[in-house]
Amino acid sequence: MIKPSIMSSCAAIKKNTPDLPSDGQKAALINLLTDEDTAIYQTVREKIISCGQPAIEWMRPHTLSSDPALRRRAQEIIQHLARQAADDRFLAFCLTEGNDLDLDRGVWLLAQTQYPDINAEAYQALFDSYAGELRERIDPRAEPTHILAVINEYLFDELHFTGNEQNYYDPENNYLNRVVDRRTGNPINLCLVYLLLARRLRLPVAGIGLPGHFVCRYQSTSEEYYIDVFNRGKLWVKANCIQYLVSHNYGVQEEYLAPISSRRMLMRICGNLHQIYHHLELAPECVRFQRYLVALAK
């Protein structure tokens, strides 16, 4: 049975509270947030969320409350609002950037739509440190096979990055922060690690979006190698790519072997996540990624 006095208070707050509630109204919302009645809780939650990003600041102290329910619900609302803000930032990025968008920035904005609390600058600094370590080991005058062998040894033997064959369709394989944290991912995101390092080292490496697989290509004026990053950086030549296409009944088209733009690469990552969330029957996530795909396809 819904308590009339509480429901009337809640209705009054919902009806009369302006965009920025007064201190008294905030206190009333916080008091009602821990109500055991689901209808009351949902109404209060919606009202707080409707206040937008400013609500984060006045909700944050309650994440340290001695009341476990208040702590939990305050944290959930803050997380929801933070993801909402990250969603807006990523959508704006997709709509305003061109084909040669800043891939480094784009993948971290995408990661924050799922993990809004991550420190993207710290991860970028980590990639800077990886590149710094490799810069000391690589002789730019060396043969491409030697340069790639040094990168492969560092990534796969020292840092222990590996392809996630056991749980290939785990959504976390598509968020770069989780790929770095867990040292595992799918082909496109492991190639993303390779590309972000190669760009810092000014190496001629590009992403190649084969159907059903993703590799990198190192191309100098005289030599060309394809790098199967998912399989510990195994080196292919063009004939291996053609063999892959034929054996998987994709047909051989030159566009399959052409470098993919940063925009198309980000779109492919979002497409992967859209398919995964569809398979998991997570409708809100599917809708979210459909918006991203439409924005990237403009």
Angle between helices 103-114 and 262-279 (to 10 degrees): 20
Tell me what the mean pLDDT of segment 99-112 comes to. 96
Band of pLDDT at residue 9, cut at 50, 70 and 90: very low
Q: What is the pLDDT of residue 13?
A: 43
Closest by CA position to 41, among listed 75, 81, 69, 4: 69
Instruction: Report pLDDT digits (tens) over 73-91.
Output: 999 999 999 999 999 999 9
> pLDDT at residue 18 above 70?
no
Residue 64: its pLDDT value, please?
Answer: 93
Q: How many C-beta atoms surround the C-beta of residue 95 within 10 A?
A: 11
pTM: 0.86
Across the range 143-171, mean pLDDT stands at 97
How many C-beta atoms surround the C-beta of residue 226 within 10 A? 21
pLDDT for the residue 21: 84
Do 234 and 240 meet the contact criterion of CB atoms below 8 Å apart?
no
**Confidence band of 19 (pLDDT split at 50, 70, 90):** low
Dump pLDDT digits (tens) for 51-75.
988 999 989 999 999 999 999 999 9
CA–CA separation, 62 and 30 (whole Å): 9
**What angle do the packed helices 120-137 and 144-152 form, to 10 degrees?**
130
SS3 readout for the chain = CCCHHHHHHHHHHHHHCCCCCCHHHHHHHHHHHCCCCHHHHHHHHHHHHHCCCHHHHHHHHHHHCCCHHHHHHHHHHHHHHHHHHHHHHHHHHHHHCCCCCCHHHHHHHHHHHHCCCCCHHHHHHHHHHHHHHHHHHCCCCCCHHHHHHHHHHHHHHHCCCEECCCCCCCHHHHCHHHHHHHCEECHHHHHHHHHHHHHHCCCCEEEECCCCCCEEEEECCCCEEEEEHHHCCEEECHHHHHHHHHHCCCCCCHHHHCECCHHHHHHHHHHHHHHHHHHCCCHHHHHHHHHHHHHHCC
Q: What local confidence, expressed as pLDDT, does residue 221 receive?
A: 83
